[in-house]
Amino acid sequence: MGRPTPRVFDGARASCGGGGPRAPPIVLRHPLRDGAAPPEEHLTRKETSVNTPAPTAPTVIAANPGSIAVAQPNAAPAASTTPVRELLALRDALDGSLHLPADADWDAARTAWNLAVDQRPAAVVIAGSAHDVVLTVNAARELGLRVAPQSTGHNAAPLGGPDGLAGTILLRTSSLRGVSIVPESRIARCESGALWADVTAPAAAFGLAALAGSSADVGIAGYLLGGGVSWLARSHGLAVNSITAIEIVTADGLLRRIDADHEPELFWAVRGGSGNFGVVTAIELRLFPMTEVYAGTLFFPLAEASRVLQAWREWTADVPEQVTSVGRILQFPPLPELPDFLRGQSYVVIEAALQAPPVDADAVLAPLRDLDPVIDTFQPTPMTELDQLHMDPQGPVPGVGDGFALAELTADAVEAFVAAAGAGSGSALLSAEIRHVGGAAGRAPRGAGVVSHLDSEFLVFGAGIAATPEMGVAAAASVDRLAEALAPWRAAVLYQNFAEGPQEPRAIWGADLDRLRAIKVVYDPSNTIRSNHPVL
């Protein structure tokens, strides 16, 4: 597989080394706008081959060569484990910041959203621009280090691996949160550190909605590139299919804009291949005309879990694709910040979002309401408030979790789920859920990426709080017990966004793994870019 000629953003701020003369950059209009973009949104392009650089030309790893070393191609890596002098030079060139283990703010810089994950990289770069990403990738490559992209760190546990990110720059894009909406074309351009809260509010101002995650503080990049199951999944499919273009810095230091017509093999791989192929700096995605749904939760006593979840299982067999729902067991800790009806309480709940007028939605919900919930919160819900439905924590927490897909959800599978996580089970899980997908989430649209749909109609995820080592051990044991209980019904292929531990790559990508690996070798032959779920 030959590497195609890339479309590369201009130049002094986002270029890698290469020999030969370069054509002057051509200022382009944004492809999503009819008129010229504002000056700060102009894109530029120059055509150059990354296959034929002059072999002795130096690779400049900063816009200003006087502020950082100029590394010769194929130069030997620095002798020390962490090349501090060179990294300090990189720090001087960044718009953002670089943090080393000796710095006073080291722990804050390296901490993931999941506070139970102990990330110990060689350095942390908090990018202030796409330019910083280019500089960091170039510097890491020349210094013999790897780069691990991370926005929030929700699924950080598998990223470190057994070496805890040794020899790796943790490249955090969390400061890149710009979002622009083009209402005429229903397109949002989101920088890769944006959270869903950064997207849903401005989109709603135009009567539009994104296929957002269930939590407002989940980063868009990791969610989208891993698939993305939203509250609209059964009607609109996986969120990854809404991506129309990606801006990505590959291991050679080039900032590329890829889409269906430009480097389509890379575009295919990144949409579902997670962070394996480069550091994403921005994503363009489709929005959908929608202002509200009918959404809420039915709460039942935990002792009723078997009866309620069996009825929900039967109900899901006939609901229209405009309904996405979750059956869930919740055991709330006695935290003072929780409302009275949740603090220290345990429930079995049914959460759902219905794209229907209230009268029609009430008819669909009637069989579940006949089960006599103790609390019923269903009401018309603006899209900006839908992220509260799943009651996810708003902010970093220490947690242990894992998930998988089910080949089928039988009555026996429901009983096994309740036995592992319900009343009397001894489960230490805050949440154990079964999520109904299927519908459009089970169909692959034309031109989709490597992860385009889910063959399974149900996903399972369990999570517990790990505020102390003892709580972490108990939660991990409960996660394992849930997985063991449902092993007879597990699907062969995982949903990677729910996989919070190291996985065999073929368990995520199946038969597509060989094609992904071939693309990885073309764009990152030295395996510089490190992902939480690596293809190699």
Dump the DSSP string for 188-207: EEEETT-BHHHHHHHHHTTT
Please answer whether residues 63 and 31 qualify as being in contact, where contact means their C-beta atoms are separated by less than 8 angstroms.
no
Residue 105: is its pLDDT beyond 90?
yes
Q: Are strands 7-8 and 26-28 parallel, antiparallel or unpaired?
A: unpaired
Per DSSP, the residues of 3-30 read PPPPEE--SSSS-----S--PPPEEE--
Q: Between the CA of residue 508 and those of 226, 486, 496, 503, 512, what are the distances in Å?
A: 10, 18, 6, 8, 9
Question: Amino acid identity, residue 139?
Answer: A
The architecture of the domain spanning 179-289 is: 2-Layer Sandwich (3.30)
Contact 156, 399 (CB under 8 A): no
Contact predicate 269/516, CB 8 Å: yes
Query: Which whole number is the average pLDDT over 465-485?
Result: 97
pLDDT of 461 reads 98
For 487, residues 6+ apart whose C-beta sits below 8 A from its C-beta are none
- Between 19-28, 176-185, 206-215, the lowest mean confidence (pLDDT) is in 19-28
Tokens of residue 40, six digits: 């700060």
What are the start and end residues of each CATH 3.30.43.10 domain in the chain? 84-172
H or E segment to which residue 283 belongs: strand 279-286
Strands 43-47 and 26-28 come out as antiparallel
Instruction: Say yes or no: domain 292-505 is CATH 2.40.70.10.
Output: no
C-alpha closest to that of 78 among 171, 167, 163: 167
**Cα distances (angstroms) measured from residue 429 to each of 196, 220, 254, 333:** 26, 26, 44, 10
- Residues 386-409 have pLDDT tens digits of 999 999 988 899 999 999 999 999
Q: What is the largest CA-CA distance in the chain?
A: 76
Backbone angles phi, psi at 8, to 5 degrees: -120, 135
Instruction: Determine the Cα–Cα distance for residues 383 and 209; give it in Å rounded to an integer.
Output: 7
Contact 275, 346 (CB under 8 A): no
Q: Of 76-85, 282-291, 325-334, 390-399, where does mean pLDDT reach its minimum?
A: 76-85
Q: How far is CA 98 from CA 104, 141, 255, 436, in A?
A: 12, 16, 20, 42
- Give tens-digit pLDDT for 415-455: 999 999 999 999 999 999 999 999 999 999 999 999 999 99
Q: pLDDT tens-digit profile of 434-444?
A: 999 999 999 99
What is the pLDDT, as a whole number, of residue 80? Answer: 41
39 CB-contact burial (10 Å; exposed 0-12 / middle 13-18 / buried 19+): exposed
Indicate where the chain has its CATH 3.30.465.10 domain(s). Answer: 179-289
Alpha carbons within 13 A on the beta-carbon side of 354? 24
Quick check: helix, strand or coil at residue 296? Answer: strand
Helices (H), 394-445: 411-421
Residue 102 predicted with pLDDT over 70: yes
The mean pLDDT of the chain is 87
Tell me which architecture the domain covering 84-172 has in CATH.
2-Layer Sandwich (3.30)
Rounded Cα–Cα distance for residues 297 and 41 (Å): 42
Decide if pLDDT at 497 tops 70. yes
- pTM for this structure? 0.85
Whether residue 10 is predicted with pLDDT greater than 50 in this model: the reply is no
What pLDDT, on the 0 to 100 scale, is given for residue 48?
Answer: 28
pLDDT for position 161? 74
Taking residues 118-129, report their average pLDDT: 97
Structure confidence at residue 76 (pLDDT):
29
DSSP H helices in 144-232 = 157-160, 196-204, 220-225
pLDDT at residue 199 greater than cutoff 80: yes
Identify the pLDDT of residue 379.
98
